Amino acid sequence: MKPLTLTRFMIEEQRRSGVLRPELRLLIETVARACKTISHSIGKGALGEVLGSLGSENVQGEVQKKLDVIANELLLEANEWGGHLAAMASEEMETIHRIPNRYPKGEYLLLFDPIDGSSNIDVGLSVGTIFSVLRAPASASGREITEEDFMQPGATQVASGYAIYGPQTLLVLTLGTGVYEFTLDREVGAWKMTDGPLKIPAGNCEFAINMARHKQWSPAITRYIDERMEGETGPCAKDYNMRWTGSMVADVHRILKRGGVFLYPADHRTPGKARLRLMYEANPMALLIEQAGGAANNGLDRILDILPTGLHERVGVVLGDKAEVETVAAYGHEAM
């Protein structure tokens, strides 16, 4: 049987659920189209003069790569004129991007990390684009959208996903009814379903963490990792493997397909200090992971319940195999 295209999958989903609105379908199609263009630029590598840094810094004080800026512009341009969005926010921009007055406005809010795992760009390893879709609050109708309108817990996301630019270009998507994977068929330019609904395989003894940051870990995270490092003769009675790519999309994708757990804990020594961003990374990934039968917390509490207080807020992240993620939270609560 021929694989379903992304377009057909969403049209059938719209008929089946009666909940998926045509505007949301168009929005996802537009994001997916922009990801195709980003994939094309990344694929050219050094030949397309898209590698390297720009010499500028983003709002978080990180050096911007050329591709960070190219991908950000592509996503903004692609999504501005379609009429389904009220505003956008990006890891690369200080504040929100309102839809210009020359275009009609819709009810959705789009958030994205245009290139996640930027440190991998120049060495030709996997990077991705992560996105999250919220609905603008009803109270925002007829007035200008503000940052405050984005301050909604991740549980209210109506869709999230990522594109991963690796050996193949893949799109992994949830509309709140399971997680589906699409592969870009470069010859015809279409996204075709290649897996789904994805279910995280339970019991895979594998963790992904940046070990070099162990001084930042809380006693609970240290306990969790130490126990797993003890292997077969330790309390887990199993040998664990470690994997770390420095690219969240790649690490999360591996977990969705093969199981295991991903941890980027907050810095235990400084309240509020963490690496990953709640709204561009933690929330969209947490929705995908939960939809695939896994769990996601900040070391203690469910990520999707956190009420954001700022667009660029950072948060500790533990996600993947439900039993493992719950163990981390149990150790965290015990240590309090």
- Which stretches of the chain bind ligand AHM, using CB under 6 A? 62, 91, 113, 116-119, 210, 246-248, 264, 275
62 binds, among Mg ion, ligand AHM, none (CB under 5 to 8 A by kind): ligand AHM
Closest residue to ligand AHM using C-beta atoms: 248
| 171: its two tokens | 């799109």
Q: Which residue number, 48 or 246, has a Cβ lying nearer to ligand AHM?
A: 246
According to DSSP, the β-strands at 190-195 and 206-208 are unpaired
> HEC states along 50-84?
CCCEEEEECCCCCEEEHHHHHHHHHHHHHHHCCCC
Using CB under 5 A as the binding rule, whether residue 116 contacts Mg ion is answered as: yes
Please list the alpha-helical segments (H only) found in the chain: 6-17, 22-44, 66-80, 219-229, 248-258, 283-291, 322-334
Interface with Mg ion (CB under 5 A), residue total 2
- Give 234 or 246: the residue with its C-beta nearer to Mg ion: 246
Residue nearest to Mg ion (CB): 116
Considering only residues 113, 149, 181, 206, which one is a binding residue for Mg ion as defined by CB under 5 A? 113
Establish whether 142 is an annotated binding residue. Answer: no
116 in a known ligand binding site: yes
Contact between 181 and Mg ion per CB under 5 A = no
Cβ-based burial of 205 (10 A; exposed 0-12, middle 13-18, buried ≥19) = middle
Give Cβ neighbours of residue 185 (< 8 Å, ≥ 6 apart).
Answer: 191, 192
Check the annotation: does 139 bind a ligand: no
Query: What is the nearest approach in angstroms of ligand AHM to the Cβ of residue 245?
Result: 8
Helix segments in 124-270, DSSP class H: 219-229, 248-258
Beta carbon nearer to ligand AHM, 21 or 213: 213
Beta bridge partners of 173: 161, 180
Q: Is 91 annotated as a binding residue?
A: yes
Q: Is 152 helix (H, G, I), strand (E, B) or coil?
A: coil
The label of the residue with tokens 């990522």 reads: 162
| Residue 210 annotated as lining a ligand binding site | yes
The stretch among 23-31, 79-87, 115-123, 295-303 that binds Mg ion (CB under 5 A) is 115-123
Instruction: Select from ligand AHM, Mg ion, none the partner in contact with residue 246, using the beta carbon and a kind-dependent cut-off of 5 to 8 Å.
Output: ligand AHM
Choose the contact partner of 118 out of ligand AHM, Mg ion, none; CB within 5 to 8 A by kind. Answer: ligand AHM
List Cβ neighbours of 191 (8 Å cut-off, separation of 6 or more).
5, 6, 32, 171, 182, 183, 184, 185
User: At residue 127, what is the residue type?
Assistant: V
Separation of alpha carbons 90 and 79, rounded Å: 13
Question: Which one, 72 or 327, has the nearer CB to Mg ion?
Answer: 72
**Residue 113 known to bind ligand:** yes
Please give the distance of CA 83 from its chain centroid, rounded to a whole number: 24
Measured between alpha carbons, how far is 275 from 79 in angstroms, rounded to an integer? 28
Shortest distance (Å) from residue 322 CB to Mg ion = 24
Nearer to ligand AHM, 126 or 291 (CB): 126
Is 43 one of the annotated binding-site residues?
no
164, 126 Cβ separation under 8 angstroms: yes
Q: C-beta of 266: minimal distance to Mg ion in Å? A: 16
Closest separation between CB of residue 65 and ligand AHM, Å? 9
Q: Does 206 bind Mg ion (CB under 5 A)?
A: no
Q: Give the footprint of Mg ion on this chain (CB under 5 A).
A: 113, 116
Give the annotated binding-site residues: 91, 113, 115-119, 210, 281
Binding-site positions for Mg(2+) read 91, 113, 115-116, 281
- Known binding-site residues for substrate equal 116-119, 210
